[in-house]
Homo-oligomer: A and B are copies of this chain.
């Protein structure tokens, strides 16, 4: 019997994930950082020196939002902004040492999230979950 409440479930799970991320970061002494900031930092851990536009695309947020998020990261000293010397429209975002030092913490938080999400499922269930979610994602 299908209930048709998948949308509601997803919404609540998302809220739960976000709260868990924030509380895990706070456990590691990191305050004022929300998942979107984390998305940006994780992006930069994979590939440092990204432009605002690239960051916006990667984290699926608009440019004004990324401006706000990055400015906060700058004010916390985790990243810096540098203008391209050739094309003065472009700004590169780079990790500072302080920003790089957070990487292991993000790795750990990420692990914790995965444990929470997949922990209760078998291998087959986990694969099935990803399969279904990936298909779902393509419809939006």
Which A residues are closer than 8 A to B by beta carbons?
A: 1-7, 9-20, 35, 60, 113-114, 116-121, 123, 125-130, 132-137, 139-140
Contacts and interface: CB of A to CB of B under 8 A. Distances in A.
A133 B2 contact: no
Contacts of A1: 127
Contacts of A140: 12-13, 15-17, 19-20, 116
A126 B5 CA distance: 11
The number of times this chain is found in the oligomer is 2
Interface SS of chain A: helix
A29 to B, nearest CB: 22
B128 A128 contact: yes
Nearest to A19: B140
B132 A128 contact: yes
